[in-house]
Amino acid sequence: MPSDNTVAATTGNGLTVCVTGAGGFIASWIVKLLLDKGYTVKGTVRNPDDPKNAHLREMEGAKERLILCKADLQDFESLKAAISGCVGVFHTASPVTDDPEQMVEPAVNGTKNVIIAAKEANVRRVVFTSSIGAVYMDPNRSPDKVVDETCWSDLDFCKNTQNWYCYGKTVAEQEAWKTAKELSVDLVVVNPVLVLGPLLQPSVNASIVHILKYLTGSAKTYANSIQAYVHVKDVALAHILVFENASAKGRFLCAESVLHRGDVCDILAKFFPEYPVPTKCSDEVKPRAKPYKFSNEKLKELGLEFTTVKQTLYDTVKCLQDKGHLPIPPQQQHSIHIQSS
């Protein structure tokens, strides 16, 4: 392993990196793209023999360059063993829950353990997957304020609204920066918004359920609220870009569009009219919620070209159909090609 602190150029040949929580939605894509680039990947999972991790072993290059390591974020020694010999770490593993006991302490302690293990292994750079949840939860932010990497969620507001997911992501990212600074670890953070797109793992994750409910008929109306979206492949690419570019510093907001739920339903209904997509808002009294402004310039400057939200929604539904999570109505015979513009 090189002894300096420079970051990999544009190829992974001969380099070994670690991806925590390798079987997850975003992590699976990071593993796939790293293997495609020639990296050897040590992926941490709770049980390497679990069938839900089989998709990782089936990836191109996995037989030669993927090592699944049994590890737990709360078990420092297991993380240390997984990270040993790596030039970089992609820390994506995190609880996804609104239970404060299951979310906050495990996320904070796990992040600290990863960074300490990375320091002991003398890695070049740690890329940490944070969230928009650590960025935009601030009731005092002006509607005209552009949401960017300088923004932080208000912890008191998260507590008072019992939004433990955003609280946990915020304190975990703050702990990451604190520990990295204390140990002089080169840390870069990616803050994705709601992530959609094709699943590589067999199960449907929480962010995909957000769309699935509009297609199955379980949601009869849509909420009067807004959401930012991004394609999962773009999120994975963002992680690799900030790892490989020595100039990448700080946080990187990963978002393509902010849409009202009604706009999402309109897009879904246009592409897939056979499904019972809601046409009414659950709140027709209050004014329609307005999208916030955001900046994704930092990632664009590194060369990331974002997939349009229309393509992202289309890819999500097609994947749900292909994997059998969403029945294909007999009358659906169309094949749509979406313009990238």
- Tell me which residues are annotated as active site: 169
> How far is residue 159 from each of residues 100, 105, 165, 231, measured CA to CA in Å?
10, 14, 10, 29
180-209: buried (b, 16+ CB within 10 Å) or exposed (e) per residue?
beeeebbbbbbbbbbbbbbbbbeebeebbe
Please state the separation of Cα 284 from the chain's center in Å.
32
Q: Letter for the amino acid at 39?
A: Y
List the one residue out of 175, 83, 163 whose CA is nearest residue 120: 83
In this structure, what token pair is assigned to residue 217?
């008929």
Tell me the H-state helices in the chain: 25-36, 54-57, 62-65, 76-83, 100-120, 155-160, 164-183, 206-216, 232-244, 261-271, 297-301, 309-322
List the one residue out of 254, 272, 163 whose CA is nearest residue 211: 272
Q: Letter for the amino acid at 207?
A: S
Angle at 78 between CA 76 and CA 81, to 5 degrees: 110
What 3-state class would DSSP assign to 138?
A: coil
